[in-house]
Amino acid sequence: MGFTKAELESYRDVEVPDLLPAHDEPLRLLFVGINPGLWTAATQSHFARPGNRFYPALLRAGILAQPIDPAAGMSAHDRDELRRRGIGITNVVARATARADELTGEELQEGGRRLRALVAERRPRVVAVAGITAYRTAFGERLARVGEQGVRWGSSRVFVVPNPSGLNAHETVDTLATAYAEAARAAGVLSST
């Protein structure tokens, strides 16, 4: 599936719904993107842009058993498999943009408040925010570093993991997999052995 630049631009500001287990099912690990890209908005599938390393890193980490290619839109089976494992996906800011740097600090802070409310309601074991700069801005933690944070949101442990975008060139699928596996072990999605 492909889109022209004009087609993608038509998805600017479109929102992508959260991917979450049902309320009566456990939410173990909540991955949090910065905001949807235009390709994600077009397919209504998180981290969908071709070349995004999110799903290859989840596969390499052992969080997924089968590859997911959401570039054409995530299948119902793929969505159900994530939910069955207790994995959810949301964003700090809901609106789609071509690049995350189009967001304002105020949008990120407001999105951070909405995210904290979602975490208070759903109580995931672990929240994994993908992007250190967005985390620092959204939550006023100027000195935050990648890894587990020294705070909890209610009973939820908080991790900052590297952003899987191809724009984050110093990360590889292997380094992303290592960071994602650490959060998944803390969440009980992967065994600690």
Residue 25 forms part of a structural domain: yes
Q: What are the DSSP calls for 117-160, one per residue? A: HHHHHH--SEEEEE-HHHHHHHHT-TT--SEEEEEEETTEEEEE
Provide, rounded to the nearest whole percent, the portion of the chain with pLDDT above 90: 89
Residue 160 forms part of a structural domain: yes
Cα(38)–Cα(59) distance, rounded to whole angstroms?
24
For residue range 87-111, what is the model confidence (pLDDT) as tens digits? 999 999 999 999 999 999 999 999 9
Residue 5 forms part of a structural domain: no
Residue 8 forms part of a structural domain: no
What's the pTM value of the predicted model, to 2 decimals?
A: 0.96
Asked if 86 contacts 28 with a C-beta cutoff of 8 angstroms, the reply is yes
- Domain range holding 166? 15-187
Domain count, the chain: 1
For residue range 42-90, what is the model confidence (pLDDT) as tens digits? 999 999 998 899 999 999 999 999 999 988 889 999 999 999 999 999 9
Note the pLDDT of residue 134: 93
For residue range 109-121, what is the model confidence (pLDDT) as tens digits? 999 999 999 999 9
| CATH number of the domain that residue 112 is part of | 3.40.470.10
pLDDT band at 158 (very low <50, low <70, confident <90, very high): very high
Residue 79 forms part of a structural domain: yes
- Cα–Cα distances in Å, from 128 out to 13, 14, 152, 163, 179? 24, 23, 12, 10, 10
Residue 9 forms part of a structural domain: no
Residue 2 forms part of a structural domain: no
Beta strands in the chain (DSSP E): 29-33, 87-91, 126-130, 147-153, 156-161
Note the pLDDT of residue 59: 96
Residue 23 forms part of a structural domain: yes
